[in-house]
Amino acid sequence: MSIEKSPTHQENTFLGLTVLLVDNIEGIPSTITNMISTMGFDKILHASNGAHALNILFQKEINLIITAPQLAKDESMQLLKQSRISPKTSKIPFVMIAEIINQKQVIEAIKYGVAEYIVKPFSEKQFVNHLNKALFEKNNNATKKLTSLTQKNTQKAEEKDNQQPLQILVVDDVSDNIKIISEILRKDYKVKAATSGEKALQICEIDPQPDLILLDIMMPVMDGMEVCRRLKSNPKTQHITVIFLSALDQTKYIVQGLDLGAVDYITKPIDPPLVQARVRTHCKIIESNKLMRNQIDIMQENARLKEAFELIKQKGYHTGSSSVSKRI
């Protein structure tokens, strides 16, 4: 199956490229498919498993391989290994997406030449950055690559030193509720507020995006259920953690909200220690995921640094050998 590029993307770095997405989900397109389809690729080819993917790789000209986390256990890794064997496929950038961080798999994937190892959840912006690195960093010469990656590592270290508190968005049509929750959380987090679902969605589209949303279920015009549904169906916002604010008698809505992708709920009236505890627990998870993703990025960049350094050494050695030969 192929999906033509989105007409809304006239100019971008993926124009003219073909991506092979290996994903065994049938029927409704996955979030990853939706993300890719808006990025401007000329074609998206779909494979349902590793064998199907290999068949396509040998028949078509593919610029990028992406494997989704829904594949059978180890199928992504096996495809990576097999794709590195043939000269026709060994240089195609390979991006592996995972649901959870598996350190052993990360190390093995880097060993076999994965271009990017991405762990969910991630924003569309982060995804684009990963794909740009996978596709175009290999095209830099070794010296430029070494300089660029060294600068990136330095920048990441500086960013870590200047790490900002997590951003929380409180969404409630009652201003007094927002004021109470903001006072509870303001000391430890950067708090924003919205009194309507529409305003909340607008805030979530703008950088820096909230890391976590405390979302009231019962609001006029657009209720919390609809806000959550839109957040989780939008590739730009589906990664944001959602906790519902609800009354005790709204159990059926809470269940529906959790099915939509919310991770937790807090009942009203607001109990400050409970709010602090619930938010702290999920913020620790968010920070842990960020840290682990950064560690994976550093591992991948270190592998690229090593590769670039080896290329420089080989160039220097061959240049030196050639000079010696000429003198003899």
Distance between CA atoms of residues 142 and 92, nearest Å: 18
Q: Are 226 and 181 in contact (CB under 8 A)?
A: no
pLDDT in tens, 224-247: 999 999 999 888 898 899 999 998
Give the span between the Cα atoms of 143 and 148, in whole angstroms.
8
42-51, 153-162, 297-306, 314-323 — which one is most confidently predicted on average? 42-51
- What homologous superfamily does CATH list for 2-140? Response regulator (3.40.50.2300)
CA–CA separation, 244 and 217 (whole Å): 6
Q: How far apart are CA 258 and CA 240, in angstroms?
A: 14
Distance between alpha carbon 234 and the CA centroid of its chain, in Å?
13
Q: CB of 284 within 8 A of CB of 255?
A: no
Q: Which CATH class is domain 167-281?
A: alpha beta
266 close to 244: Cβ distance less than 8 angstroms = yes
The domains spanning 2-140 and 167-281 adopt the same CATH topology: yes
pLDDT in tens, 157-186: 445 544 689 999 999 999 999 999 999 999
pLDDT band at 150 (very low <50, low <70, confident <90, very high): low
170: buried, middle or exposed (CB in 10 Å: 19+, 13-18, 0-12)? buried
CA dist list (Å): 24 to 21, 47, 68, 154: 10, 7, 8, 39
Quote the tokens at residue 135.
């596709």
The domain ranges of the chain are: 2-140, 167-281
